[in-house]
Each structure stands twice: as C-alpha cells, then as structure tokens.
C-alpha cells in the first residue's frame, strides 16, 4: 500500500488515492463524524451553480462532490489526477465528463469556467500557488473560486483536542474502515502542516484573486475560502 510523504510527490499522492478509492467516501463520512456531508452542502451554496454554467470540480475524486452542482443543471467537469478515483467515479456516474488532470497544469483553455472549486484537495498539491494560478487562468472574468479545506480551529482549547484526535485517534479508526490506513496518517500530518485561514487567503490574493474572504465551518476545523476573477 502507498503512503505519500509531506513533500507531496505527485506520483506518490496519486497512487495513495488510487489505493483508497473504493471506500474513500465511506471512510470520510466515518472519520468526519458525518460532517463531510454538511460541508458539501455549504460548498454547493457558495458555488451557487446555475443552469448552463460551466463548473470545474478539481480534485473531484469519485465525483460525490460534483453531484450538487450537476443537479442545478450546470455542466460540471470532475477533474482529478488519481485514475483509481476516476475509474470508481465513472462506474457510479457514467454520464459525467471525468477528466484526468494535474492541478498545476490543467488541461483546459483560458477563461472557460464560470466557477472553479476544490474541496479537500488543494492540501495535497505540491505547488499550491501554481494550482491557484491555474484555477485563475481557466476561470472566466467575473467568475469565482470556492476552496473548502481543513484549517485551524479558532478556539485554542478545542484546537488542542482536535490535534490530538488527528494524530492519535484518526489512524486507529481508519484501520477499521479504510483499505489503506497509512494514507490517513499522511492526511492527518498534512492537515496539521497546512496554512491557517489568513495565510491561505493571502496566497489566493497572490495568485490574482480579488474580494477574497473565508468562512469557518465546524469551529474552524474546515474553512471555506472564496474569491473572484476581475
């Protein structure tokens, strides 16, 4: 079984997600204590997909995250660099235009999408700033980005408890439900290592996005950032 390291070599990360593809959605529901579904609903509200709009769902995995956008009548492209995830997703949603792609070199033209979004995937990209620039490039002027990612709880005592859960409780729980529990050790470490809310907002602004703001979910365990392309 594959476990990526924190230098996030693309091939290692892709192989790790290939390993966990079959049970990935179930494992996320268990490890998040059901919160993952709530977070998806909030992302759908923020993206605000409309009929005939083009939406890029990057790091879409099996395209579970894409379904709320598709139900609005938008044209949704689920994109991921894990072929294992894409294969599982295509079996579940054969009508969707699954696309293999690297976040740092997206296989799309400039100014294509009305909205671009990535949930719990930006953290796994080796070159975060390049990915943010690529998302900007493929977005139409006036379009929007929504990023949902693990972040830093805002209340210090809870932050301590949360960190203990990540590093001590998460791996044993993952062993009971995941085909590759070592992958979740990496995920816990990558969450702990990720920038906080203001730092990610600054990186979005550095990539060209304007009107950048964020909203904390579940006490800051997750933060949802949004920006616009002028």
| Pairwise CA distance, residues 118 & 17, whole Å | 16
Q: Which residue(s) pair with 118 in the sheet?
A: 58, 147
pLDDT tens digits, 34-48:
688 889 999 999 999
Assess whether pLDDT exceeds 50 at residue 3.
no
More confident residue, 16 or 68: 68
pLDDT class for 1, splitting at 50, 70, 90? very low
Residue 161: per-residue pLDDT: 83
Residue 103: per-residue pLDDT: 97
154 assigned ligand-binding residue: no
Residue 80, helix vs strand vs coil: strand
Contact (Cβ atoms closer than 8 angstroms) between residue 75 and residue 53: yes
| Pairwise CA distance, residues 125 & 111, whole Å | 22
Assess whether pLDDT exceeds 60 at residue 2.
no
32 assigned ligand-binding residue: no
Residue 131, helix vs strand vs coil: helix
Residue 192: per-residue pLDDT: 83
How many helices (H) and strands (E) the chain has is answered by: 10, 7
103 assigned ligand-binding residue: yes
| Pairwise CA distance, residues 226 & 212, whole Å | 6
In this prediction, residues 117-141 reach a mean pLDDT of 96
Residue 61, helix vs strand vs coil: coil
Residue 116: per-residue pLDDT: 98
pTM comes to 0.85
Bin 70: left if φ > 0, else alpha if -120 < ψ < 50, else beta. alpha
Assess whether pLDDT exceeds 70 at residue 181.
no
Residue 19: per-residue pLDDT: 63
Assess whether pLDDT exceeds 60 at residue 20.
no
119 assigned ligand-binding residue: yes
């Amino acid at each position: 079984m594959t476990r990526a390291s924190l230098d996030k070599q693309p091939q290692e990360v892709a192989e790790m997600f290939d390993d966990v593809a079959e049970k990935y959605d179930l494992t996320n529901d268990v490890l998040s204590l059901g919160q993952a579904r709530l977070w998806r609903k909030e992302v759908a509200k923020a993206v605000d997909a409309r009929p005939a709009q083009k939406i890029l769902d990057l790091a879409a995995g099996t395209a579970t995250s894409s379904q709320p956008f598709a139900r609005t009548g938008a044209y949704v492209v689920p994109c991921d660099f894990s072929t294992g995830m894409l294969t599982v997703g295509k079996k579940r949603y054969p009508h969707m235009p699954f696309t293999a792609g690297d976040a740092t070199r997206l296989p799309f033209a400039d100014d294509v999408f009305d909205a671009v979004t990535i949930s719990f995937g930006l953290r796994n990209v080796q070159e975060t700033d390049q990915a943010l620039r690529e998302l900007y490039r493929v977005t139409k002027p006036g379009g929007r980005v929504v990023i949902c990612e693990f972040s830093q709880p805002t209340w210090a005592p809870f932050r301590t408890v949360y960190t203990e859960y990540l590093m001590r409780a998460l791996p044993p729980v993952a062993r009971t439900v995941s085909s590759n529990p070592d992958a979740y050790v990496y995920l816990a470490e990558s969450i702990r290592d990720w920038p906080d809310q203001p730092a990610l907002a600054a990186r979005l602004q550095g990539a060209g996005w304007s009107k950048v703001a964020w909203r904390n979910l579940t006490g800051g365990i997750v933060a949802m950032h949004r920006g616009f392309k002028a």
